[in-house]
Chains A and B, each alone.
Chain A
Amino acid sequence: MNERDPQEELDAYLDGELSEAEREALDDELEQSQDLRGDLDRLRRTSGSLRAHFAEASEALVDERGEAIAVERIVRMSTQELRRDQVVRPRRRPSPLMIAAVIVVLAGLAILVLAPILDDEPDPGRLVDGTMKSLERQALEFELSLGGLLHRLPLALAGQSAADLSRGTLRLGPDGLFHLVLGQGEDGALVEAGRDSRGLWLAAGPTEPIRRLRGIESETGLFRGVLGFGDRFRDLLEEARRRPEAVQLVGQVKDELSRPLWKVRLLDVAGGHGGELWFDDSGRLAKVSMAGIVARVNHEAGLGRADFELDHIHPDRTIEDEER
């Protein structure tokens, strides 16, 4: 016999998912049992609190600006992907026999060509080490996707006129050198920051003087977040070098263009989630995700130390020193 458990039916009762007969039976039991009515009340309030929690969490996920940027990015990626798909995909539908023949041939080829590669999982420590060595020798160039993190940008840097700070370019050089282009203001001027051999600097357009900043790194928090991306990236790589257990190979995944990449997770000093790195088959760093910022590695820019010097980047601009 199928025994009914009124307790288990309360959820379905609350959600209007009981049949009429089941509902009537439970109504009778609720009328007779104060305990059951109490259970239903608690369940109703639990449900209400969950609903409120989900609503708050959903609201706080992304602001309007971040949402607009995400929509634009999704549409751009989708149309690009479709164009690529249309170019690659044959127009005429092949016969099942042809498909079977192609599958057999491709499977054979795949076994011959890919098996040695797929069997050979990379050592994540070596991948990280290779990236570090690469960074010591020459610059890496990243294309940053800032997405919903725009609101975290320091106002002093973003300025009121900054129109599009959704994407940036970051070049990392040896010894902490960096050059970051955050985006363009309404007047088309670049919002930039960097660290050369004399320290940190900020620049916001051709009419404003470049500011060379002294001693602020640990005080103001100005260089946290987006600006601190490069330093955090280095710190995590160094931590990974020191502690092999802080590097974990997650596995092989595909990027949005269906290219296979090896995904590696880095743990921070406290053992928490530090960031994620993606490497291509040749062991070259392809993508980084860290502190809410996703960065694609465009290429090894091949820049030398001198290329990060302010005088080299902005030879015609006035420089103001700023004590903080």
Chain B
Amino acid sequence: MTGRELDDWDLLESATAEDGRGFAELVRRHYRAALAFARQVLGDQHKAEDVTQKAFVNVFVARERFERKARFRTLLFRVVVNLALNEVARVRGARSFSELAEEESEFQVPASPGELDRPEAAAEARELGQMIENGLMRLSPRHRAALYLREYQGLPYGEIATTLDASLAEVKIWIHRGRAALQQILRPYLDRGESVR
């Protein structure tokens, strides 16, 4: 080693319009995680790629305005989720954010009876994965985002709240309801005491 590894904020600050090497390293560190997060919120790979790309560009251009108050990834994810929710709102048309929030609070918990009655058809892991994916897609984008940040990124509720610009109570509810919805889908397996994955 010739020197200490620069942290994320150092890399962001070192980047200029003429020299993007530091920024390239920063993008390499976080691209896959940001893309996966956007994919979970949007449920669409191509839109997720667009949103992730735009999030990095926005962060880069506005880098002088950010302060090192939080982890860089928290900031990046916040930009990602804002862009993604804008995209969701745009797709849904004229409905306002408050209407969306109301709609999200009443999301339908899942799984058609047909799916629940066919445990043998879903015995293979791939089908089970598809069931989980389908269940996730029935949740609202915010529920999915909260679940992803908790389960995969392992973030504490406080950091999830910061990332999603929500209250601690909202995050708690989103995670509880999200897991409850998925649990309902997986119930045939869970009740048999089988290992789910």
Band of interface residues on B:
35 or more
| B179 in contact with A11 (CB, 8 Å) | yes
Asked if residues A70 and B157 are in contact (CB atoms below 8 Å), the reply is no
Chain A residues within 8 Å of B50, by CB: 294
- The residues in B between 89 and 129 inclusive whose CB is less than 8 angstroms from any CB of A are 90-91, 93, 128-129
What residues of chain A lie closer than 8 Å to B172, measured between beta carbons? 11-12, 17
CA distance A174 to B156 in the complex (A): 57
Is A83 positioned at the interface, with any CB of B under 8 Å from its CB?
A: yes
Whether B196 is near chain A, meaning CB under 8 Å from some CB there, is yes
Is A155 part of the binding interface, using a Cβ–Cβ cutoff of 8 Å? no
Which among A49, A61, A71 is the interface contact of B39 at CB below 8 angstroms? A61
Are A56 and B129 neighbours in the complex by a CB distance under 8 Å? yes
Q: A46-B196, A55-B152, A61-B39 known; A251 and B90 CB under 8 Å?
A: yes
User: A119 contacts the other chain (Cβ, under 8 Å)?
Assistant: no
B70 at the interface (CB under 8 A from A): no
CB atoms of A75 and B27 under 8 A apart: yes
A81 beta carbon closer than 8 Å to chain B: yes
- Which residues of chain B are within 8 angstroms of A67 by Cβ–Cβ distance? 28, 31-32
Q: Is the CB of A48 within 8 A of B197?
A: yes
- Contact present for A47 and B49 (CB under 8 Å): no
Contact flags (1/0) for A275-296 with B, using CB distance below 8 Å? 0000000000000010010100
Residue count of chain A within 8 Å CB distance of chain B: 49
The A interface, classified by DSSP as helix, strand, loop or mixed, is: helix
B90 engages A71 (CB within 8 Å): no
Residues from 208 to 232 in A contacting B, C-beta threshold 8 Å: none
Chain B residue numbers with a CB within 8 Å of A56 are: 129
Residue in A closest to B22 when the chains form the complex, CB atoms: A75
Q: From residue B169, how far is it (CB to closest CB) to chain A in Å?
A: 11
Report chain B residues within 8 Å CB of A83. Answer: 17
By a CB distance below 8 angstroms, the chain A residues around B133 are 53, 57
Q: Please state if B196 and A58 are interface contacts (CB–CB under 8 Å).
A: no
Contact A58 B152 (CB under 8 A): yes
Q: Which residues of A contact B81 (CB under 8 A)?
A: none
- The answer to the question of B73 belonging to the interface, with a C-beta cut-off of 8 Å to chain A, is no
Map CB proximity to B onto A52-75 as digits: 1 under 8 Å, 0 otherwise. 111111100110000100111111
Q: What's the Cα separation between A147 and B53 when bound, in Å?
A: 12
Distance (whole angstroms) from the CB of B97 to the closest CB of chain A: 15
Chain B residues with CB below 8 A from A256, complex form: 53-54, 57
Q: Is A126 an interface residue (CB 8 A)?
A: no
Cα–Cα, bound, A34→B102 (Å): 36
Known A17-B157, A78-B61: A50·B17 in contact at CB below 8 Å? no
Give the shortest distance, in Å, between B81 (CB) and chain A (any CB).
16
Smallest distance from the beta carbon of B64 to chain A beta carbons, Å?
Answer: 10
A292 to B45, CA, bound (A): 8
State whether the Cβ of B23 lies closer than 8 Å to any Cβ in chain A: yes
A79 at the A/B interface (Cβ < 8 Å)?
Answer: yes
> For B90, what are the chain A residues with a Cβ–Cβ distance below 8 Å?
250-251, 253
Bound CA–CA A42/B196 (angstroms): 10
Extra contacts, 20 of them, besides A77-B53, A82-B17 (Cβ < 8 A), are A12-B157, A45-B196, A49-B182, A50-B182, A51-B152, A53-B133, A54-B36, A54-B40, A54-B148, A56-B129, A57-B40, A61-B39, A67-B28, A70-B31, A70-B35, A78-B57, A79-B20, A81-B61, A82-B61, A294-B50
24 inter-chain pairs at a CB distance below 8 angstroms, sorted by A residue, are A12-B157, A15-B156, A17-B172, A42-B190, A46-B190, A48-B197, A49-B186, A49-B197, A53-B129, A54-B151, A56-B129, A58-B152, A61-B36, A61-B45, A67-B32, A70-B49, A74-B27, A75-B20, A75-B24, A75-B27, A78-B23, A78-B60, A86-B17, A256-B53
